[in-house]
Structure 1
Amino acid sequence: MPASRLLPDAAGDDLIELTRDLCRKELAPRVEAAETSGELPRDVFRTLGRSGLLGLPYPEELGGGGQPYETYLQVVEEIAATWMSVAVGVSVHALTCFPLVTAGTDEQQATWLPDMLGGDLLGAYCLSERDAGSDIASMRTRAKPVADGSAYIIRGTKAWISHAGHADYYTSFVRTADTGSRGLSCFLVPADAPGLSAGTPERKMGLASDTVSEIHYEDVHVDTGRRIGADGEGMHLALAALDSGRLGIAAAATGLAQAALDAAVSYAATRTQFGRTIASNQGLQFLLADLQAQTYAARSAYLLAARLKDAGRPFSMEASSAKLIATDAAMRVTTDAIQVLGGAGYTSDFPVERMFRDAKVTQIFEGTNQIQRIVIARHLLAGTTPPKGTPSADH
């Protein structure tokens, strides 16, 4: 796979080879059946965790792999090239760990992180609601403290939650005060908490093995010791996690695009019409070259953002740019890969049909690509004075 040529060191090469081996032996034989049945492969995440791949970007002293984010993202890309649902799940799981890694107490980290990063505990990231998707600050799920301050009672519903009904814990962002974005807090809610339940799984266009549904909190009792970070720190934690999560989706989208490109090239090189392979037609060669260039641009974008993150520099605008570029590329590459295969590409006998369906949602989750454009524009215009009469981004 092309990603390996960009790895910074031998340790990264070893991780890529480990990932490829696992993908070839553990993932590839199961993809078709699991995606057809809609099975969430819980044991695969356990295998990835025990191989050290779920905790790669987090510090070794916390039980992680201590690897650069650049390396972790290339592992995600490799997984996505084999099974997109699993790659998205890996990115989601990394998001669920982020608040605990960055804002948890020593005791909280020692209690939960080893099993989270080791794959024995699978997480779900509960941020969105039906009426609070891009507008996080309008969420209504609420946590009220009990009289003695020892616990909170959570009531409400979260929507579009990956791993719903299968996760062992739910990293939940809820309202603890009526102060807008400053009134949100984060809790680590165990799956067996009384009153916590998953709704009926959504019937989705793609990513069938990524089970998604609503999560209902019906007076869920959560100890104060499960609040991650300070009261009111939830918005900051959510947005910081999303910057990193957008890079995970960008890497996954790039892997999906690479897999579709590989399938199109292989088919074009062997399919014959009028006595020659269709790859001998210059028009098709140009199409394949464009798809390669877009895949390369997607990879370059997420790697640049990752290198800024690894260097401790601001990377929010670059993360949004990478997410925008990579997911648009995945949609274009998978669409044109079907065109290369013609009628065969429109059938489920070839994987590009599934890749096309999997690609669409990447332009929607972790912030729609329209939201990414708003984020990028605000970074570009920060500190400037807009011309008189220019409407704000809110209109």
Structure 2
Amino acid sequence: MATSRIPVPFSEPPWLMGLPSPYYNDSHRAWQKTCRALVDELLMPEAGDWERGGDVPENLYGKFAAANFLVPNLSAPLPVKWLKKSGIHELPGGLKVEDFDYLHTLIYVDEMARTGSLGPSGAITTGIAFGVPPILKFGSEALQERFLPDLLTGRKRICIAITEPGAGSDVSNIATTAVRSKDGKNFIVNGTKKWITNGLWSDYASMAVRTGGPGPSGLSMLVVPLLNTPGVSMRRIKVGGQTSAGTTFIELDDVQVPVSNLIGTEGQGMKYVMQNFNHERLTICVSVNRISRVALSSAFEYCLKREAFGKTLMEQPVVRHRLAKCGAELEAHWAWIENFVYMMTKLSTSDANAELGGLTALAKAQAGRVVELCANTAVLLYGGNGYTRSGQGELVERILREVPGARIPGGSEDVMLDLAIRQLVKNFQRKNRELDAQLERPGGSSKL
């Protein structure tokens, strides 16, 4: 990680390198300083040790909750009513919850990934970031009243449980069943969930289940109790990267879930899952771009001082060429992310889902390509040091192991590329039909 008093090239986004930006106001700049100070206090000193050991301290989540530093994981605008009912009126630094926008989200996610690993930050963020929104967006008032106060304050934890051994990006193939009991009071849930981040520590899961027949129309979402629940067994899955994030295999054997735990309308689960993915994919873009930045700037700094053949690596044209290619991809991707997030601050939720869903998938796919290029290049430039799990190259070696975790979760890369084009075609065709209808209407306007 860069240690120079002057920021090493590529070590920070341009707006934090002192360059002008049209996106950020005084509130965003103050929030960035607040986030950096808290991440420096709560994560940075020991994050490498935690990732190396494969776990985070039990009290880490509580420390974030005590600082009201869990709430920024939620997509903007924040659930102001529920936050204030839970006693949360401000975020750290005095930022009022009603003033929080998606650029504040971007800043938070970017700062949390500065450790150069998605493990320690993921141990804190993944569950609440993706498990709470389905309840917020689609749950009934009664369901929200039962769960949100404890989840928003960190007294309880939740995860998102979609993926199964036989259903990853193919969500419509989910096999976990939820069948109504004879008395109609409960769903009886049976099945397995795999690669569930934070599952080990979660009191609940926002879970995709099959309440009907085959295909997407048979899917629903339930709030399923996990910890200390009869019929639920969980074990850690050892993975190559993000080792401290609590990746979990969940088995469900006749688990009784009250019918009142249904999120939204039965049979609408596919819609809920797909809309939830947009926030997940955008935050993946931000965090993956930052760990790419950590890898590239670390290699940049190393090349300034490492000597070979009588000169520093930076004096070798081939080295500069490799760094340049990475820098171009990194900064182009970041500029795209900033533009995305700015659009999120201007569009309604429904318009953002319709217009940006496909492009978000494309940006997520590109994030995986960027981190693969930057991490591979960094390891190569570190030479033998980049192939070891200790010493000077430990950081970039670890980031290289994060690459599959960037390219697969949230929708694997090939699926994202295909989804992006299908949704762009769908939007194009819909707008053409709307235009044709306007032009054919007697006395109608040609405006959309």
1:332 and 1:120 mapped to 2: Cα distance? 40
Aligned to 1:390: none
* Among candidates 417, 422, 427, match of residue 378 of structure 1: 422
Give the partner amino acid of 2:292. A
Aligned runs of 1:255-266 on 2, under 5 Å? Answer: 255-266=290-301
Alpha carbons of structure 1 residues 41 and 254: separation in structure 2 relative to 1, 3 Å: farther
Aligned to 2:177: 142
Aligned to 2:39: 23
Aligned to 1:164: 199
Higher mean C-alpha deviation, range 168-177 or range 53-62: 53-62
Aligned to 1:273: 308
Alpha carbons of structure 1 residues 173 and 61: separation in structure 2 relative to 1, 3 Å: same
* Among candidates 363, 367, 373, match of residue 326 of structure 1: 367
SS of residue paired to 2:386: helix
Higher mean C-alpha deviation, range 305-314 or range 205-214: 305-314
Give the partner amino acid of 1:16. Q
SS of residue paired to 1:95: helix
Aligned to 1:358: 402
1:277 and 1:43 mapped to 2: Cα distance? 45
Give the partner amino acid of 2:324. A
SS of residue paired to 1:187: strand
SS of residue paired to 1:173: strand
Give the partner amino acid of 1:273. A
Structure whose CA Rg is larger = 2
Q: How many Å apart are 1:154 and its aligned residue?
A: 0.7
SS of residue paired to 1:238: helix
Aligned runs of 1:128-277 on 2, under 5 Å? Answer: 128-191=163-226, 192-199=228-235, 201-277=236-312
Aligned to 1:55: 71
Aligned to 1:389: none
Higher mean C-alpha deviation, range 306-315 or range 232-241: 306-315
Alpha carbons of structure 1 residues 263 and 304: separation in structure 2 relative to 1, 3 Å: same
Structure 1: gaps (5+ residues): 386-395
Aligned to 2:30: 14
* Among candidates 111, 114, 117, match of residue 81 of structure 1: 114
Aligned to 1:392: none
Q: Report Cα offsets for 1:78-108 as digits up to 9, x if no partner.
A: 2112142133342443110111110122232
Coordinate RMSD, CA, aligned: 2.1
Q: Report Cα offsets for 1:251-283 as digits up to 9, x if no partner.
A: 111111011112111111222234432222232
SS of residue paired to 2:265: coil
| Alignment check: 8 A CA contact 1:77 1:87 kept | no
1:384 and 1:104 mapped to 2: Cα distance? 32
Aligned to 2:379: 338
Structure 2: gaps (5+ residues): 1-11, 89-96, 431-448
| Alignment check: 8 A CA contact 2:189 2:257 kept | yes
Alpha carbons of structure 1 residues 81 and 315: separation in structure 2 relative to 1, 3 Å: same
Higher mean C-alpha deviation, range 232-241 or range 20-29: 20-29
| Alignment check: 8 A CA contact 1:253 1:330 kept | yes
Q: Report Cα offsets for 1:8-47 as digits up to 9, x if no partner.
A: 2222222222221122222122222212221144433333
SS of residue paired to 2:164: coil
Give the partner amino acid of 1:378. R
Higher mean C-alpha deviation, range 302-311 or range 146-155: 302-311
Higher mean C-alpha deviation, range 298-307 or range 224-233: 298-307
1:158 and 1:147 mapped to 2: Cα distance? 25
2:304 and 2:152 mapped to 1: Cα distance? 42
Higher mean C-alpha deviation, range 220-229 or range 268-277: 268-277
1:262 and 1:117 mapped to 2: Cα distance? 35
Q: How many Å apart are 1:54 and its aligned residue?
A: 2.5
Give the partner amino acid of 1:351. L
2:148 and 2:417 mapped to 1: Cα distance? 34
1:238 and 1:41 mapped to 2: Cα distance? 31
Higher mean C-alpha deviation, range 34-43 or range 319-328: 34-43
Higher mean C-alpha deviation, range 17-26 or range 332-341: 17-26
Alpha carbons of structure 1 residues 117 and 357: separation in structure 2 relative to 1, 3 Å: same
| Alignment check: 8 A CA contact 1:46 1:118 kept | no
* Paired-residue identity, %: 25
Q: How many Å apart are 1:384 and its aligned residue?
A: 5.3
Aligned to 1:299: 334
Alpha carbons of structure 1 residues 99 and 42: separation in structure 2 relative to 1, 3 Å: farther
Alpha carbons of structure 1 residues 36 and 205: separation in structure 2 relative to 1, 3 Å: same
2:251 and 2:188 mapped to 1: Cα distance? 13
1:118 and 1:321 mapped to 2: Cα distance? 34
2:126 and 2:246 mapped to 1: Cα distance? 14
Aligned to 2:6: none
Alpha carbons of structure 1 residues 8 and 162: separation in structure 2 relative to 1, 3 Å: same
Give the partner amino acid of 2:82. L
Aligned to 1:119: 154
Give the partner amino acid of 1:86. P
- TM-score w.r.t. length of structure 1: 0.91
| Alignment check: 8 A CA contact 1:320 1:376 kept | yes
1:156 and 1:291 mapped to 2: Cα distance? 43
Q: How many Å apart are 1:4 and its aligned residue?
A: 5.0
Q: Report Cα offsets for 1:336-395 as digits up to 9, x if no partner.
A: 01111111111122210001101222101111110011111212332559xxxxxxxxxx
| Alignment check: 8 A CA contact 1:305 1:322 kept | no
1:3 and 1:75 mapped to 2: Cα distance? 16
Instruction: Give the count of matched residue pairs.
Output: 384
Matched, 1:367 2:411: yes
